[in-house]
Every structure is written in C-alpha cells, then in structure tokens.
Amino acid sequence: MRDNMTTHEDVSLPNQKLLQQAKATATVFQEEFQTSFKVYDATSGVLLWPTTVADREGPSEALNVDEIQQVVKSGQVQVVAVPQLGFVVRFPLSFPGTNPLIAESTIKSLSGGGSAINEEQIRLTRWAQAVLDRLLQADMLRTRRYAEDDLKQQVKKAWELNLTVERLVRHLRIHRDVETGIEQILETALPFLGAQSLIWVPGKLESMTVRGQRVLTGFDACELIKVLKKSQDLKDMGLLILNQVEGTPLGSAFPSVKSVMVMTVPMGSATGWMIAINKQQDDADAEFRNADAATLAPFSALIGFLVRSCDRYQDLKELLVGLTRSLASAVDAKDPYTYGHSERVARIAIELGRELGLVGDDLSDLYLAGLLHDVGKIGIRDDVLCKHGPLTPEETEHMKQHPAIGHSILKDLRQVSNLLPGVLHHHERWDGKGYPSGLASEGIPRLARILAVADSYDAMSTSRPYRKAMSPANVETILTDGAGEQWDPQVIQAFQRAKIRIRSIRERGLGESLRQALDGALRDHGSSRMLPRNVALPVGTM
C-alpha cells in the first residue's frame, strides 16, 4: 500500500478468522460501491485482502499507522478528495473477537470537479456512513443471534450433563468394586469434556484409570502429577488449566501434552486428581476453559464420593461382622452341645448355593442368614434348650418360637432385612407341615429352603444330650428320602452333588473365624472381583 505499511507476506500470517473477516468485508463493500476494496489489519498495518499482488496495484494516498488509529478511534467513515482520482474512502471496522480493520478504496468523482466536488464529498460521506452503520448493525444482530444460539447450546449441554450425572448416580453401586465405578464415571465424562484422554490418579500414585487415548504411560502420568501438584493455583483453588504447553519446560518433558486441566479430588484423609489432556476441537487453537472445569466438577465430586462411601462401607461391614459374630456366639454359649452350629450351617449353605448357581450377593445372604438363623434361641428358656431328654408338647411349642423371636430381634436392623425370610422360615417344610407359617413348596423363600437342608444336616450330624450323632451315610439317606416331603427336591439334589465338600466342613471341626470362613467361601467362586480378600463381609448385605 505504502512505504510505512507492510503486507501479510512481510510478516507472519494472521489467523484464519481475521483473513475470512477481511474477505467478507471487502466483498460487501464491493457490491455496494461497485469497486474493489483493500482491507488492512488496523493494529499491525498488514494488508489482509486482496491476497494477489496484481490486485494490490493502484494509486492511493499515503496513510500511516497513526492515521489508521485515528480513523479507528473516531468510528467514522473518512472520505478524502484526491485531485484527478476522485475520493479515497476508508471504513473503520471493529468486530468481536478480532483485531480492528480498515477497508479502503478509490471512488471516481461524478461531478467533474470544481465547486460541486464538496457537495459530492458530503453526499458520499453520508452514503458511506449509512453503509457502515448498516453493516455494523447487521454484524451486531448476527453476533447476538450467535450468542443466543450458543447460550441455547450451553443450556442444552447443561441439561444433558445434569441428566447424565443423575443416571450415573442411580446406576453406581457404592458397595461394588470401586475401580468399576471410577471407569464408568470417566467413560461418561470424556465425551462432555472433548479431551483426548481423561485420567484418574489416586493419592498414593500407585495406580491409575485411563479413558480415551493413552497419551501418557502410567509412569509419565505419575511424573506429570508430581510436577503439577506443586502449582500454587492447584493448591489454592484445586484447579489448574494450562494451554499451549508446547514450547514450555513442561511441554519439553511431556511432548505429547498440548493442553492439560487438573482438578483436585478430596477423599477424606487422602487426595486424588482428575487430569484431562489435550482439548479436542475442529479449531486448531482448542483450549481448556472454565466451562470445561465446570463440566468436570460433578464427575470429580462423584469419584470422591464413591471412594469415601466405599471406605465408610468397609467400616460398616466390619461393624456388622462384629455384631453377627457376637449374636452367633451368644447363641452357642447358651447350648455347649451345639457350639459352632451356626457357622457350619452358614458354610454348608454356601456349598448348596454354589450348586444351585448362586453367586455374589445371594451367596452373601446365605452365609449371613446361616450365621443368624438360630439367633432367636437367645429367647428360649435354658431348661428347654439344654434339656437332656425329649421335650414335652409345651416345651416343643416353646422351642418353635425361636424363628419368630429371631425375626423380632433383627427386624429393626435395616442392614440385614434381606436375611429375615431365612431366619423366620428355615423350619418350614416342603409339604406345608412346618412352622411358624405352614408355608409349602415354592411358597417358602428360597433362602429358607436352602437353610433348612443345611440346618438339618448339621443337626443330625451333631451329638445331642439325648442322642448320638448319626453317621454321614444315615444322614444322607434321610435327606434323600425326605426330598419332596420335608425338603426342596432341588436343594437335596444340590446336596448330593456337594456332599463330599459338605462332609469335609463337618470333619474339619471348629476354630475358623467368620472372616476366614467367608473369605474361603467366596474367594474362588467369581466374587473376588467384587470382594477384596481382606474384607470380611460380602457385598450386597447392607
């Protein structure tokens, strides 16, 4: 254009958005005035449009950067009369998100010169200013429409996010494997963030969970968080956003990281971190923003809640273990002849449940119901419970109260409410002649039907004051003959398949703790994924 101005070939190229804006502006003015326009970046003086050398040719009045700034600051069209040429028209243009522009062209005079040139200059200035005002107003309306559309999209995304988090919360199983829950949270969060990779790093840095592309190795992710957690922003605000990492010391150490967002996740006494790496968008200048942090926040909070809840659940399980052991011990203490009966019934019930295809929560229920099935005997008179001879009819009726007494003891303990059918109905019979409710066949809860066989086997295999223990063969015959009459035929078939293992439970005797017995019962039956070996109480009993 002139000596003190430069073209965009002389310096680094402007961004694509500015070039597109310059082209669109030149096109609008050309259609309005039927002449070509040049468009400059008013900040740097770089010629943006046209891009070909031939189109740049043509005389024009010299204009320095200071004059450009004055025109931009005035916000008014500048029309300058140039002898022999006509008028040089300059339009100052300011659009949101880009540098200000100057559009310039030479428009031939129609008056032929003389005194009429002044009136023509005034008319051209009014016309040009009207065109500029109309253009800026149209751009303002377009920007407002885009802002409204963007707001609608943001509101829509917020609703989708809320609904997604709500569904995620409903389907999370707090007492299940924590890693599975964390994986679900990361998989759900990743599409909302638009990140290349999303990583959960627990406080001890001993393991991590990754969703998306593996931008970093496990070692590098740990090293990255060691560097980032030193940031004062992360310490003070719990959030750190770093864009344009390339070219920085961090980018040199981790070349695959272009942008990163880290959020601290409190977990009681420990701390973890959510790391989003490399914002992915069509725009090459994609960056993490505060809106992304707001999106990540509920997912980070969910992970913190999941971990803390699991820790509390473990404590609650330990408490319930202690309660169960205390109740079972209290029953055994009343009758030394049945010492260990509850634990053996629980372990036998586990073997029967395995043969019937039960897993996980159902096996847990069986075990705990076996431990608690006779808790009602706490309420039976000692002279009846420890009698060395046959019971009288009145004593028999009193003994039959123990299932109802056990139910009454446990009914207000919400955590074991799912075990109550086994406690109340383990003396029902398949033919309907049992007690306390006279239930028959499939009307008897499955838990109670299994416990009935386990209870009967151990009772017949144990010596009592009034009789000696029966031989294993005799007990097995009685159970087989009673199938379809006293006991569920399917449970008896399961007993026949498991009888070798059940015999070993009786022969090994006592001494195993509740924790060891439960761990051995569940460890090799597909439950180790849900129940760590050092956890006493099975999942699903809370």
pLDDT at position 22 is: 86
Compute the distance between CA of residue 208 and CA of residue 219 in angstroms, rounded to an integer. 10
The answer to whether domain 335-527 has CATH 1.10.3210.10 is yes
Compute the distance between CA of residue 63 and CA of residue 70 in angstroms, rounded to an integer. 11
- Cβ atoms of 113 and 51 closer than 8 Å: no
- 3 state SS of 466: coil
User: What value does the mean pLDDT of the chain take?
Assistant: 79
Residues 202-258 pLDDT 10s: 877 777 888 999 888 888 888 888 888 888 888 888 899 998 888 888 888 999 999
Residue 433 pLDDT class (50, 70, 90 cuts): very high
pLDDT at position 153 is: 66
User: Which range among 36-45, 244-253, 312-321 shows the weakest confidence by mean pLDDT?
Assistant: 312-321
Which spans in 172-277 are helix H? 178-193, 218-228, 232-237, 249-253
Distances 446 to 65, 185, 494 between C-alpha atoms, Å = 90, 36, 13
Q: Which residue did the predictor score with more confidence, 301 or 444?
A: 444
pLDDT at 146 over 90: no
Which spans in 373-445 are helix H? 382-385, 393-399, 402-410, 420-425
Distances 529 to 213, 225, 314, 498 between C-alpha atoms, Å = 25, 28, 15, 24
Residue 113 pLDDT class (50, 70, 90 cuts): low
pLDDT at position 56 is: 44
- Cβ atoms of 201 and 222 closer than 8 Å: yes
Residue 262 pLDDT class (50, 70, 90 cuts): very high
DSSP states of 505-517 as a string?
A: HHHH-S---HHHH
Instruction: Name the one residue in this structure whose structure tokens are 């390339």.
Output: 246
Backbone torsion region of residue 247, taken as left when φ is above 0, otherwise alpha when ψ lies between -120 and 50, otherwise beta:
left
Q: Which of the listed ranges 27-36, 48-57, 201-210, 477-486 does the model predict with the highest average pLDDT?
A: 477-486
CB atoms within 10 A of CB 369: 27
Residue 510 pLDDT class (50, 70, 90 cuts): very low
- Cβ atoms of 468 and 462 closer than 8 Å: no
pLDDT at position 504 is: 86
pLDDT at 161 over 70: no
CATH code of 174-308, in short, is 3.30.450.40
Residue 69 pLDDT class (50, 70, 90 cuts): confident
pLDDT at position 457 is: 94
Residue 196 pLDDT class (50, 70, 90 cuts): very high
Residues 54-64 pLDDT 10s: 444 443 344 56
Q: Which of the listed ranges 18-22, 89-93, 160-164, 485-489 does the model predict with the highest average pLDDT?
A: 485-489
pLDDT at position 282 is: 55
**Which two tokens mark 448?**
């109670």
What is the domain partition of the chain in residue ranges? 6-141, 174-308, 335-527
pTM of this prediction exceeds 0.85? no
Residues 372-418 pLDDT 10s: 898 888 888 888 888 888 889 999 999 999 999 999 988 887 777 88
- 3 state SS of 280: coil
pLDDT at position 225 is: 87
pLDDT at position 337 is: 62
If you average pLDDT over residues 335-342, what whole number do you get?
73
Residues 267-307 pLDDT 10s: 777 788 989 999 986 555 588 988 888 888 888 888 888 88
**Which two tokens mark 410?**
């446990």
CATH code of 6-141, in short, is 3.30.450
335-527 has the same fold as 6-141: no
| Whole-number percent of the chain with pLDDT over 90 | 24
pLDDT at position 400 is: 93
pLDDT at position 391 is: 87
User: Which range among 17-31, 105-119, 217-231, 347-361 shows the weakest confidence by mean pLDDT?
Assistant: 105-119
Q: Strand 209-212's sheet: what is its strand order?
A: 209-212, 195-201, 270-279, 260-267, 239-242
Residue 520 pLDDT class (50, 70, 90 cuts): very low
pLDDT at position 207 is: 76
